[in-house]
Structure 1
């Protein structure tokens, strides 16, 4: 049994997971194609940070959404420990992040991922994300893919 809860990006369990993610991505891509945002400097109201824990309360995955003033958000730092993959935890984590983003008036989520992270791309596609053009602050990058998902076309419908 796994639980998904909100957590501070400065929590030691989160920093450990993000360090593992950074090591993984740094081995795949050059520094200029690694967009490793430090989440600890963001104000609480701009950030959704979640952690997945196993039965023993070990942190085995994390993910974040950075909320923008225009009602969009960017998915960041999604990671599941390799020993826990294949159990649909990524889907559950994305759903939890999307639900929380929607509750905070976020209508669209976007993300950047690398071309070598095929399992991540398949996860995002299964969860309804579609390819799109690069969005600010990114420019085109041959090693990056950009995706987005509309959570609700009209936020007034979310309250019905």
Structure 2
């Protein structure tokens, strides 16, 4: 049986399947980093106006997610990137990241930043292939041996972000 072409859309993080996927992500992160180095957003946090959540679905099933979280001063952040194991290796994370970058550019952000773990080489590859470069701590994240930070300047649109 072949899978249908994945779809990626903006969705609420408050659905049951999104709650389950976010729970899986949280469990995975806690196996890779100590709790004090995990900066989870809850579905409720993600449902706020400052965050846009992208969900990839395959045959109607939530397969991957990622979010754009807006900060002040022209900075936006990539959050909650995750692809369920059964769907890894099909470019869903890359495609979601492209949607996040496109939205941030369209909204006029000057840069995108993110924090990821020190034991996530698959994530590093996705970010680096998308033009992100390693940097020092971003936003209010502490400098931690468990964190790896990335930033990427954006070709912001003509709109000015407030």
Fold equivalence (TM over 0.5): yes
User: What is the aligned counterpart of 1:136 among 136, 139, 143?
Assistant: 139
Q: What is the match of residue 9 of structure 2?
A: 5
Q: What is the match of residue 49 of structure 1?
A: 53
**Quick check: 1:48–1:101 contact (8 Å CA) kept in 2?**
no
Q: What is the match of residue 26 of structure 1?
A: 30
Where has structure 1 moved over 6 Å in runs of 4 or more?
none
* Aligned counterparts of 1:46 and 1:65: Cα–Cα separation in 2: 8
Residue aligned with 1:98, SS:
helix
Q: What is the match of residue 78 of structure 2?
A: 75
**Quick check: 2:19–2:43 contact (8 Å CA) kept in 1?**
no
Post-superposition shift, 1:16? 1.1
* Aligned counterparts of 1:157 and 1:22: Cα–Cα separation in 2: 35
Gaps of 5+ in 2: none
1:87-102 mapped onto 2 (5 Å cutoff):
87-102=90-105
* Aligned counterparts of 1:39 and 1:135: Cα–Cα separation in 2: 23
Q: What is the match of residue 116 of structure 1?
A: 119
TM-score (norm 1): 0.90
Structure whose residues are more often helix by fraction: 1
* Aligned counterparts of 1:155 and 1:99: Cα–Cα separation in 2: 10
Q: What is the match of residue 59 of structure 1?
A: 62
Q: What is the match of residue 86 of structure 1?
A: 89
Q: 1:19 to 1:43 in 2, by over 3 A?
A: closer
* Aligned counterparts of 2:43 and 2:71: Cα–Cα separation in 1: 14
TM-score (norm 2): 0.89
**Quick check: 1:25–1:34 contact (8 Å CA) kept in 2?**
yes
